[in-house]
């Protein structure tokens, strides 16, 4: 597996610290989707194969910032969709700024021994439903759109259809990932002395600038 090979290369090269980028809710045994299970398997591999290497995993909720793929997709779709159907509309997220994740990497590099073997969860200061995030993009970009939350049966159907289209904007595995909220029971920014930035403060000017 690729994560195990990375740790092996670190050991061969004499690298003593390895920071592993994962995802919130990663769990090899209980993850609801292949994506979250594979992320959990990657974590387990690097933490169990790390002899002589300090390993810390980073598990953020969805990441936002300049050029991000999450809000960028909504921005493009809202351009031509007067009615926007939202799958899994009540699934909750705590979006985290890319700058804060970078700062977390820096802090752990500086204080590696303090976080050896830990799996750190990172979330932004505010929780939103998926529907609220789409509404935020529409509002900030000045688009009057009807944003409709789909029931679970239609969310599954949309995943089945869209995964067969070019680009696979939404798949059944995405749907399964969204059966659990992407929020932190424990937000480890506090342990690093980082105050996470608000979504509105960062993305409002970025999205407005793109119009």
What's the confidence (pLDDT) of residue 3? 77
What's the confidence (pLDDT) of residue 210? 66
The 10 Å Cβ neighbour count of residue 98 is: 16
Cβ contacts of 136 within 8 Å, gap of 6 or more: 128, 199, 200, 203
How do residues 77-105 score in pLDDT, each as one tens digit? 999 999 999 999 999 999 999 999 999 99
Distance CA(120)–CA(98), nearest Å, equals 15
Q: Give every strand in the sheet of 17-21, ordered side by side.
A: 17-21, 54-60, 119-122
CA 1 to mean position of chain CA atoms: 22
What's the confidence (pLDDT) of residue 1? 63
pTM listed for this prediction: 0.93
Q: Which residues of the chain have pLDDT under 50?
A: none
What's the confidence (pLDDT) of residue 102? 98
Tokens standing for 24? Answer: 């919130």
The 10 Å Cβ neighbour count of residue 109 is: 13
Packing angle between helix 34-48 and helix 2-13, nearest 10 degrees?
Answer: 20
Contact 187, 122 (CB under 8 A): yes
What's the confidence (pLDDT) of residue 112? 77
Q: Does domain 2-209 have CATH number 3.40.190.10?
A: no
């Amino acid at each position: 597996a690729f994560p195990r090979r990375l740790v092996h290369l670190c050991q061969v090269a004499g690298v003593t610290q390895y920071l592993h980028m994962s995802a919130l809710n990663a769990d090899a045994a209980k993850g609801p989707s292949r994506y979250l299970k594979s992320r959990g398997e990657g974590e387990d591999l690097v933490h169990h194969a790390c002899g002589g290497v300090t390993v810390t995993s980073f598990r953020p909720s969805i990441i936002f910032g300049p050029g991000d793929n999450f809000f960028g997709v909504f921005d493009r779709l809202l351009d031509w969709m007067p009615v926007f159907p939202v799958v899994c509309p009540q699934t909750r997220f705590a979006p985290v700024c890319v700058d804060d994740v970078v700062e977390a990497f820096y802090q752990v590099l500086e204080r590696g021994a303090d976080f050896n073997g830990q799996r750190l969860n990172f979330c932004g200061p505010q929780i939103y439903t998926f529907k609220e995030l789409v509404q935020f993009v529409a509002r900030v970009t000045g688009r009057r759109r009807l944003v409709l939350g789909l029931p679970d049966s239609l969310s599954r159907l949309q995943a089945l259809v869209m995964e067969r289209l070019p680009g696979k904007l939404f798949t059944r595995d995405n749907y399964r990932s969204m059966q659990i909220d992407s929020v932190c029971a424990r937000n480890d920014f506090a342990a690093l002395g980082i105050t996470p930035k608000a979504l509105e403060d960062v993305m409002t000017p970025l999205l407005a600038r793109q119009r």
